[in-house]
Amino acid sequence: MAKKNYNLIAGVSALVAVILIVAVAGYFISKPKAPVIQGQAEASEYRISGKVPGRIEEMYAKEGQGVQKGDTLVYIDSPEVRAKLEQANAARAAAQAQSSKAKAGARSEEIAGAYNLWQSSIVQEDVMKKSFDRIRRLYDQKVVSAQKYDEVKAKYDAAVATSAAAKSKYDMAVNGARQEDKMAAQALVAQAEGAIMEVESYLSELYLTSPVNGTVSDVFPMPGELVGTGSPIMTVVDLDDIWFTFNVREDRLADMTLGSKLTLIVPALGGKEVQATVSHMAVRESYATWKATKDTDSYDAKTFEVKAVPDSKVEGLLPGMTVLVK
């Protein structure tokens, strides 16, 4: 009997022990893990593109190559731009010739011709004046008709006008072009020079240079391919301007305020710890919303973008590497 009681007690104890082990294990298994905030490293990227369409003639940098600010990366060949420069130079030469002519005035041959024409018109005017005076006396004496008088008077008036016009033309030949004509000719020269400057600025755009010290991350076209205005040719990444970006649920923002310090872990660098400072917090929610369920008795949590900059340069850190908030 005692043995049966002992076995019963032992069995109950074992059952209780199993229940306790299962309960403890269930507690630790079901215990919620500490939330992990994950982000990634990012860096400033510069798209290299040209203002002028043309053909890629030379590539002076490859993917992964380090470049310095001002280094030539690409040369684009554009025969159309060179042709426009020739046209602009020809237009300037024509405008300068016109301006020189306006400043110099008429040639001696033109002046002599205008003078002779004026003198001839003076003689004609004198002849017509004598005829008109004679007809006028006869008209006053009622010898000729009014029609005849009017005809001679009209011819005389025309001779006076012709003489005045010839005198004006002679004066213009002697004095040269008007000031307005000279200014207009000079304006044409300035316009042509402006066109040349514009084309030369396009010529300078045929050689594309790096805007920063960095590394070439992407090269899109190949040498010999045609590219249009603004078409991306390559990307230069500035590894000296790097930061971390996180998309954080709003209920986990309590420890993330502008200027707050973060300790980050970079798995790709062997779990290296990095100190960073929060530099930006989005003023509005981001794309993602964490939907609540009736069972959790919670609310729909919004996601906000947070950025942090490392307190010092992190060797080996590259854009795209995962970072974890410790």
Chain segment 220-229, per-residue pLDDT in tens: 998 889 888 8
Residue 161 domain-assigned (yes or no): yes
Residue 143 domain-assigned (yes or no): yes
Residue 122 domain-assigned (yes or no): yes
Highest mean pLDDT among 33-37, 94-98, 251-255, 270-274: 270-274
Predicted local distance difference test score (pLDDT) of residue 264:
95
Structurally, how many domains does the chain consist of? Answer: 1
Q: Do 152 and 131 touch, CB atoms closer than 8 A? A: yes
Residue 126 domain-assigned (yes or no): yes
Q: What are the residues whose beta carbons fall under 8 Å from the beta carbon of 80, sequence distance 6 or more?
A: 53, 54
pLDDT digits (tens, 9 = 90+) for 36-93: 889 999 999 999 998 888 889 999 999 999 999 999 999 998 877 777 777 878 777 7
Per DSSP, what are the bridge partners of residue 124? Answer: none
Residue 289 domain-assigned (yes or no): no
Give dist(CA 54, CA 263) in Å, integer: 49
Q: How confident is the model at residue 174 (pLDDT cuts 50, 70, 90)?
A: low
Residue 153 domain-assigned (yes or no): yes
287: left (phi over 0), alpha (psi -120 to 50) or beta: alpha
Residue 120 domain-assigned (yes or no): yes
Predicted local distance difference test score (pLDDT) of residue 178:
58
Which domain does 93 fall in, by range?
A: 84-201
pLDDT digits (tens, 9 = 90+) for 301-313: 888 999 999 999 9
Predicted local distance difference test score (pLDDT) of residue 246:
94
Predicted local distance difference test score (pLDDT) of residue 204:
80
pLDDT digits (tens, 9 = 90+) for 139-161: 888 888 888 888 888 888 888 88
Q: Do 238 and 212 touch, CB atoms closer than 8 A? A: yes
> Residue 179: is its pLDDT beyond 70?
no
Size (the chain), residues? 326
Mean pLDDT across the chain, nearest whole number?
A: 82
Residue 71 domain-assigned (yes or no): no
